[in-house]
Amino acid sequence: MSASGVQSAALMGTLVTIEVVGTEPGGEAERDAAISRAMEWFRRVEKTCNRFDPESELRRLSARIGQPVTASPLLFEAVRFAVAVAEETEGAFDPAVGAAMEERGFNRDYRTLQPAGPFAESSGPKTGTFRDVRVDERRKTLTLLKPLVLDLGAVAKGLAIDLAAQELQSLRNFAIDAGGDLYLGGHNARGQPWSVGIRNPRDPGEMIETVEVSDGAVCTSGDYERPAARAEDGHHIIDLRTGGTAKDAASVTVFAPSAMVADGLATAAFVLGPKAGIELLERHGADGLIITPALERFATRGMTDHD
């Protein structure tokens, strides 16, 4: 078999690696151009959805309270999905988490360390929730009814992975890895389904389970991934209903056909905790494994299909 093509870049606060197995159907040059186009989606989604950049479309939207704003397809899709998950989970998942993230010191771009702001919208408290975000499907507009800071950190990486995967679809056998969130197309260089390890959240060097995946996404939310600046603030997944860090899960891994769905549901199930989290995944026809801080495991009924 011919050599694989691999490219890596630091994007969206993580390392993105894209590998395409072999050179079929169009040869090496075409393959490498497709990988570059796939990588470009991460740049575009980052530029659009970056909470740390005053010029991003996301931040510009946040500066226009009370006015319907026509959104690009990228921003519209990410906000529409995030608000839908928020409605379904009654605010356990809430993309209006941005102000709470800033208060906890998550106010710098992970990569450039640029602080967020100051922003035009920065005067006064930002108390809005997802209930203050109007999504108009017909006009493709978004309206913020109250001051709030949208944070799409729970879904944007997944959206970028899905767009990159579409770009590579004709090449069939490929792997997209954005800091452990994955889309795996076809098979690996040995002609077998891709194999994904689920880590022990309390000893991330150790694998708890290995799962085979072909043509699907796998996303994990773990409390070990991004600690807050102050140790007492815990990690990067917040339960806005209590104002504290979500504590009922240590990690959630979700398998779904779409990476945006897997990414969003992993964060949502993390906040909901094992019981309601598993119910959420099953309602969406997704599979997953929730590991609690005591290392108890809760799996969807379909999980065994992946073994």
- Which residues form the interface with ligand ADP (CB under 6 A)? 93-95, 97, 101, 151, 153-154, 157, 181, 221, 225-226, 236-240, 263, 266-267, 271
Rounded to whole angstroms, the Cα distance separating 15 from 153 reads: 15
Query: Which entry of Mg ion, ligand ADP, none binds 238, CB below 5 to 8 A by partner kind?
Result: ligand ADP
101 binds Mg ion (CB under 5 A): no
Q: Which is nearer to ligand ADP, 106 or 174 (CB)?
A: 106
Contact 247, 240 (CB under 8 A): no
Over the window 122 to 161, marking each residue x when it contacts Mg ion by CB under 5 A and - when it does not, the resulting string is: --------------------------------x-------
CB atoms within 10 A of CB 14: 19
Query: Which entry of ligand ADP, Mg ion, none binds 130, CB below 5 to 8 A by partner kind?
Result: none
Q: How far is the CB of 240 from ligand ADP (least distance, A)?
A: 6
Instruction: Identify which of 168, 107, 98, 164 has the alpha carbon closest to the alpha carbon of residue 133.
Output: 98
**Strand bridging mode 181-185 / 194-200:** unpaired
287 binds Mg ion (CB under 5 A): no
Q: Closest CB to ligand ADP belongs to which residue? A: 153
Tell me the CA end-to-end span of the chain in Å, nearest whole number.
27
**E strand spans, the chain:** 5-11, 14-20, 69-70, 133-136, 141-144, 174-178, 181-185, 194-200, 203-213, 216-222, 238-239, 244-245, 251-256, 287-291, 297-299
Query: Which entry of Mg ion, ligand ADP, none binds 225, CB below 5 to 8 A by partner kind?
Result: ligand ADP
Query: Which entry of Mg ion, ligand ADP, none binds 95, CB below 5 to 8 A by partner kind?
Result: ligand ADP
- In this structure, which long-range contacts are made by residues 118-126, counting pairs with CB atoms below 8 Å and at least 24 apart in sequence? 119/54, 119/59, 119/62, 119/63, 120/54, 120/63, 121/59, 121/62, 121/63, 121/65, 121/147, 125/99, 126/98, 126/99
82 binds Mg ion (CB under 5 A): no
Which of 71, 182, 252, 266 is in the footprint of Mg ion by CB under 5 A?
266
Q: How far is the CB of 16 from ligand ADP (least distance, A)?
A: 12
Instruction: Find the part of the chain contacting Mg ion (CB under 5 A) among 17-25, 196-204, 216-224, 228-236.
Output: 216-224
At 45, give phi and psi (nearest 5°). Answer: -65, -40
Q: How far is the CB of 191 from ligand ADP (least distance, A)?
A: 30
182 binds Mg ion (CB under 5 A): no
* Residue ranges binding Mg ion (CB under 5 A): 154, 221, 263, 266-267
